[in-house]
């Protein structure tokens, strides 16, 4: 990970409002009935657009198998797995991540 990214993240997480913000987000996620209108897992089959899903295989907060299952449900999705990677492939494997995104976007722009 780039040193600048570590500094940025450490600075952001040190802000006095960050703890309350994270707590509010997690509390909201625990209210399943209230979040149901925004849940999408049951609607993935309807996502009929080219989709690229980038996932770190070792993400401690998002199980890799759920990414595999989700991508199988989307008609035009492709999963790119970043090995030895946690939650932030765009930082942990910046070069590969950005090249993957560029290729995906070049392909989509070329089809117009």
pLDDT digits (tens, 9 = 90+) for 5-38: 788 888 888 999 999 998 998 888 888 888 888 8
Residue 39 pLDDT: 83
Residue 77 has pLDDT above 80, yes or no: yes
Q: How many domains does the chain have?
A: 2
Q: CB–CB of 21/27 below 8 Å?
A: no
66 and 108 both lie in a single domain: yes
Residue 51 has pLDDT above 90, yes or no: yes
> Which position has the token pair 């149901």?
36
69 and 107 both lie in a single domain: yes
Segments forming the whole domain that contains residue 76: 47-112
Q: What 3-state DSSP class applies to 80?
A: strand
78 and 95 both lie in a single domain: yes
| Cα separation, 66 vs 70, whole angstroms | 6
71 and 111 both lie in a single domain: yes
- Average pLDDT of the chain to the nearest whole number: 90
Considering the entire predicted model, what is its pTM?
0.73
Residue 1 pLDDT: 59
């Amino acid at each position: 990970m780039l040193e600048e990214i570590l500094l940025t993240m450490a600075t952001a997480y040190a802000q006095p409002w960050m703890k309350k913000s994270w707590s509010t987000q997690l509390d909201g996620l625990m209210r399943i009935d209230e979040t149901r209108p925004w849940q999408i897992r049951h609607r993935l089959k309807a996502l009929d657009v080219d989709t690229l899903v980038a996932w770190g295989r070792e993400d401690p907060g998002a199980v890799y198998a759920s990414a595999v299952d989700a991508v199988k449900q989307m008609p035009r999705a492709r999963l790119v797995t970043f090995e030895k990677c946690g939650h932030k492939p765009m930082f942990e494997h910046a070069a590969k991540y950005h090249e993957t995104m560029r290729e995906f976007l070049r392909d989509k722009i070329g089809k117009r």
